Amino acid sequence: MASEQASVEAPAAIEKYSKRVVLETLLGRSDGGVGLIGQRVVIGGWVKSSREFRKEPVFPAPEVVGSKDASCVEVLQTRLPFFRSILKVLGIGELRIHDKLDSVVPKPPQASISILLISDGSCVPSLQVLVDSALAPPSIVMPTGTCIHAEGILQKPSLQGKQILEFKAETILYIGEVDHNRYPLSKKRVPLESLRDLSHFRPRTTTVASVMRIRNALTQATHKFLLENGFLNVQVPIITRTDCEGFSENFLVTTLLGNAGTEDQSSAGDTWGVKLESIKASIKEKSKKIEELQRTESNKEALASATHDHKKATELASQLEEKLKAKIGKPMQTVKVDFSKDFFSSKTILTVSGRLHLESYACALGNVYSFGPRFRANKNYSNKSLSEMWIAELEMAFSQIEDSMDCANDFLKFICKWILENCTEDLKFIAKRVDKSVVDRLQFIVTSPFEKVSYTEAVDALKKVTEKKFGEKVEWGALLSEEHKSYLTEEIYKKPLVIYNQPKELEPFYVRLNDDGRTVASFETIVPKVGTLIRGSQKEERLNMLNTRIKELGLDNQQYEWYLDLHKHGVARCSGFSFLLDPLVLYATGLNDARDAVPFPRSFGKANN
């Protein structure tokens, strides 16, 4: 009983810097917030849905009308039946007099209560908020997306419904109004594909908000695991002279084109060509979506929207084709870039990996890691990867490939368990709206042993498959496709898979060459549905082998001069891996496209915000 009393009297937790109560601290309680009834709080959020409850008009009693405080209008309104009787006896037209009375006495607006469901992004449930029309007109507060900041009382629901707690506003502190006709989320259930072009609004939807909270939890779990296991957080450069893999498509960093002042004809043609290629890829994607919607016949509104977008994209592609043809017909110029005049006085790129830079710090500090964006300018579309990806990379001194594989397995199990324990409500919602098997999938990683097979064993296993024909031929030395990896994890081994000892041609120059001279000490951790989540390797510590590999791959020796210098002076054996956050978000949420799993997606032809 004492504990119950304490629960009732415990005040709502106030957010330190905004002086408001975060809804998760109310609705996430075991009692749903009932123990806080009667407390005065400040809340803030956005309207998810709304309805209006009209109050019955209340007329004053006769004795009140007769009082000296009653107005002439009130007297006329209450005595109207009496006057009508007299007028009827005298034979005076009632209707005409009634019309005149109505025109003289305007009808006051009917009082009402706006019933709002408010979300502040902290949890899945919404709070029911009552706003009297005397505080704010329903037309202002009811549109979906309206921002409400108010002070009031927590109380038991005054109307029947699913809510067990409601908030009665007594003071409106702020209203952020919405133009209902132009606000893109005014319609219910906007498709995820449409939301990709509205990345500044889409976190207000319940689905995207849940995905972002799960993504946040994965990020927290990553830092927690690494810090608890003795890793130091080191920030590696995003702008670099070093292509850490040697064969990646890179984004060039330069200020020279901006200083040119005008766009030459060749660059304009290239720009239009890239844009045209992007739009054609988009048209192809929209066509597939239309076919899918036509098959299911489940969402006519989404089908109409997709058809409209397809038509507009086709028209734009035709216009660009005409412009490009006209441009190609004119003389073109070429641009030669002198990077010695650039901002950094040399050619610089956005990094594809920070593991080389991390190795230099591992050789001084031991175990280190970095977590941030990595960039690839690949034009080949994949729904599992983007041009800007978020990757956690770590490097361990005095370790070998077996140590990295063990660390990767423990790491993956830890963060999946963390999600299961800390994102219960979001996972329930995702299971209901997106994919009912998300919890089982996460549990599958936590409880299943990881199978370790060599690349050669994996290829041999695929070659023995007779009941399925793969899109790409299975042969030793070729990169395993997503289809190959999916079949290995889902059909052959039926568990998370670690494939190690890859062919040296498939890996960067810095990966340690094995004794067979054909393979290197690298590995991939693969799971069903999304494929590769982790790529790791042991670093080549032998200077002569590094020089040989750089020469074999035809790389620019000068850009790796600092890295080679590191290996001349007390280098340690190191190993580590890169963890791809975006595919794990797909795995944990059941989404199929990485563009829906990141806050602001960057992909070929698209960087809207």
Which pLDDT does position 383 carry in this prediction? 85
Q: What percentage of the chain carries pLDDT values higher than 90?
A: 62
How far apart are alpha carbons 97 and 87 in whole angstroms? 9
pLDDT at 74 over 60: no
Which pLDDT does position 470 carry in this prediction? 92
pLDDT at 597 over 90: yes
Q: What is the mean pLDDT of residues 386-404?
A: 97
Cβ atoms of 165 and 34 closer than 8 Å: yes
Highest mean pLDDT among 115-124, 241-250, 252-261: 115-124
Could you give the C-alpha distances from 501 to 230, 360, 455, 493, in angstroms and in order?
Answer: 27, 24, 6, 18
How far apart are alpha carbons 393 and 558 in whole angstroms? 25
- The partner residues of 572 in beta bridges, in order of sequence, read none
Q: What is the mean pLDDT of residues 581-605?
A: 93
Which of these, 3, 239, 204, lies nearest to 117 by C-alpha position? 204
How many CA within 13 A on the CB side of residue 375?
17
pLDDT tier, 278 (very low <50, low <70, confident <90, very high otherwise): low
Q: What are phi and psi of 178, to 5 degrees?
A: -130, 135
Which pLDDT does position 220 carry in this prediction? 97
Highest mean pLDDT among 179-193, 339-353, 354-368: 354-368
pLDDT at 535 over 50: yes
pLDDT tier, 297 (very low <50, low <70, confident <90, very high otherwise): low
pLDDT tier, 68 (very low <50, low <70, confident <90, very high otherwise): very low
pLDDT at 360 over 70: yes
pLDDT tier, 565 (very low <50, low <70, confident <90, very high otherwise): very high
CA angle 282, 287, 288 (to 5 degrees): 100
Q: What is the mean pLDDT of residues 479-485?
A: 93
**pTM of the predicted structure, to 2 decimals:** 0.80
pLDDT tier, 315 (very low <50, low <70, confident <90, very high otherwise): confident
pLDDT at 354 over 60: yes
Q: What is the mean pLDDT of residues 353-362?
A: 97
Cβ atoms of 243 and 347 closer than 8 Å: no
How many CA within 13 A on the CB side of residue 152?
23
pLDDT at 464 over 60: yes
Which pLDDT does position 162 carry in this prediction? 84
pLDDT tier, 599 (very low <50, low <70, confident <90, very high otherwise): very high
Sheet holding 348-350, edge to edge: 239-240, 348-350, 252-253
Which pLDDT does position 249 carry in this prediction? 85
Which pLDDT does position 159 carry in this prediction? 79
Q: What are phi and psi of 307, to 5 degrees?
A: -65, -40
Lowest mean pLDDT among 275-284, 493-502, 573-582, 598-607: 275-284
Alpha-carbon dihedral sign for residues 247, 248, 249, 255: negative
Q: What is the mean pLDDT of residues 527-548?
A: 96
441 vs 55, more confident: 441
Lowest mean pLDDT among 114-118, 153-157, 380-384, 397-401: 380-384
Lowest mean pLDDT among 44-53, 202-211, 269-278, 356-365: 269-278
Which pLDDT does position 298 carry in this prediction? 53
Q: What is the mean pLDDT of residues 344-349?
A: 91
Residue 1: both structure tokens together:
């009983």
- The partner residues of 154 in beta bridges, in order of sequence, read 167
Cβ atoms of 589 and 430 closer than 8 Å: yes
110 vs 209, more confident: 209
pLDDT tier, 337 (very low <50, low <70, confident <90, very high otherwise): confident
Residue 532's region, left for phi above 0, alpha for psi from -120 to 50, else beta, is beta
Residue 336's region, left for phi above 0, alpha for psi from -120 to 50, else beta, is beta
pLDDT at 499 over 60: yes
Highest mean pLDDT among 104-108, 182-186, 299-303, 329-333: 182-186
Lowest mean pLDDT among 197-201, 389-393, 507-511: 197-201
Write down the mean pLDDT value for the chain.
85
**How far is C-alpha 548 from the chain's CA centre?**
43
Which of these, 414, 410, 417, lies nearest to 536 by C-alpha position? 410
How many helices (H) and strands (E) would you count in the chain? 20, 16
